[in-house]
């Protein structure tokens, strides 16, 4: 893939595939497709510091998710952090937000730093920081919109979010802001390291540990997850359709 339009065509295919197979990977795919659409509209509007470079970053960034998905679908093993996210999607006991955060964990904490460094080539990595932050801002905006309207797919969680009073990320042990900051730090480390394959492997193992915390949040949170999961929609395709509506509405605000 060389263009953002090609990325969107492949993302549509993945979303359709997930609907047909009732695969919970589709929750992240729906969210990330809208992120990609938003970035495309920003490129068309000239919102970024370097719009040509942003398209290259987006293609490389999306490509890491798409490649991981294709590797896993072929029966092989992608990076450990993506493998855990994909395998978790086989279970109905995890929350929609858990699946979303597992995908975001692998994609932001591992893939984004690598993609940013690869986009810059031999140019200073600092040159892409502002556009790097804009990608994270788009994702955070959409996730906040999803959380604000999560009751449409997860009634009990939607009831608990307001009670958390801004501390709702603690409910699932995940912070997008911390992920963003860590991803930028890693982008610099990856950019300057001599053995990039070894760097990716080490980073992947650390991010996989975060994935395991999302999957196994501890006894107290596990009880909460089971209680909330009981009331969530059981039809994956129906939940994906509603999530797609929620994400689009979040972008329209």
Map residue 206 onto helix, strand or coil.
helix
The pLDDT-based confidence of 164 (bands split at 50, 70, 90) is very low
Q: How far apart are CA 248 and CA 142, in angstroms?
A: 8
In angstroms, how far is the first alpha carbon of the chain from the final one?
31
What does the pLDDT look like over 2-55, one tens digit per residue?
999 999 999 999 999 999 999 999 999 999 999 999 999 999 999 999 999 999
Q: How far apart are CA 69 and CA 115, in angstroms?
A: 17
Residue for token pair 């001599």: 194
Map residue 89 onto helix, strand or coil.
coil
* pTM recorded for the entire structure: 0.88
Range of the domain at 236: 4-252
pLDDT for 253 equals 52
Q: How far apart are CA 29 and CA 11, in angstroms?
A: 7
Is the backbone of residue 173 left (phi > 0), alpha (psi -120 to 50) or beta? left
Q: Answer with the residue of higher pLDDT: 174 or 168.
A: 174
Tally the domains of the chain: 1
Q: How far apart are CA 136 and CA 253, in angstroms?
A: 17
Residue 5: which H helix or E strand, with range?
A: helix 4-20
- Asked if the model's pLDDT at residue 222 lies above 60, the reply is no
For the four alpha carbons of 227, 231, 234 and 238, in that order, the dihedral sign comes to negative
Q: How far apart are CA 157 and CA 175, in angstroms?
A: 17
Task: Return the minimum-mean-pLDDT range out of 34-48, 76-90, 121-135, 144-158.
Answer: 144-158
Map residue 94 onto helix, strand or coil.
coil
For the chain, how big is the Rg over CA atoms in Å?
A: 17
What does the pLDDT look like over 174-184, one tens digit per residue?
678 888 899 99
Task: Note the residue count of the chain.
Answer: 253
- Packed helices 155-164 and 219-231: angle between N→C axes, nearest 10 degrees: 130
Q: How far apart are CA 51 and CA 176, in angstroms?
A: 24
Q: How far apart are CA 102 and CA 222, in angstroms?
A: 16
């Amino acid at each position: 893939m060389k263009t953002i339009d090609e990325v969107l065509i492949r993302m549509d295919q993945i979303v359709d595939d997930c609907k047909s197979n009732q695969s919970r990977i589709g929750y992240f795919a729906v969210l990330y497709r809208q992120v990609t659409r938003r970035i495309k509209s920003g490129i068309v509007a000239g919102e970024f510091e370097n719009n040509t470079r942003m398209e290259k970053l987006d293609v490389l960034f999306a490509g890491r998710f798409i490649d991981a998905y294709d590797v896993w679908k072929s029966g092989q093993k992608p990076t450990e952090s993506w493998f855990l996210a994909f395998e978790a999607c086989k279970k109905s006991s995890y929350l929609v937000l858990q699946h979303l955060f597992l995908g975001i964990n692998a994609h932001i904490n591992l893939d984004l730093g690598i993609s940013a460094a690869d986009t810059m080539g031999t140019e200073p990595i600092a040159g892409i920081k502002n556009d790097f932050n804009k990608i994270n801002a788009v994702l955070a905006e959409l996730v906040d919109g999803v959380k604000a309207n999560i009751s449409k797919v997860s009634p009990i969680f939607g009831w608990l979010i307001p009670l958390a009073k801004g501390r709702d990320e603690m409910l699932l042990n995940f912070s997008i802001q911390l992920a963003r900051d860590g991803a930028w730090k890693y982008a610099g480390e990856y950019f300057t390291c001599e053995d990039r394959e070894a760097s990716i492997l080490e980073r992947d193992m650390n991010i996989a540990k975060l994935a395991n915390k999302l999957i196994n949040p501890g006894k107290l949170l596990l009880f909460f997850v089971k209680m909330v999961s009981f009331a969530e929609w059981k039809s994956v395709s129906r939940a994906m359709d509603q999530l797609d509506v929620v994400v689009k509405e979040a972008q329209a605000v």
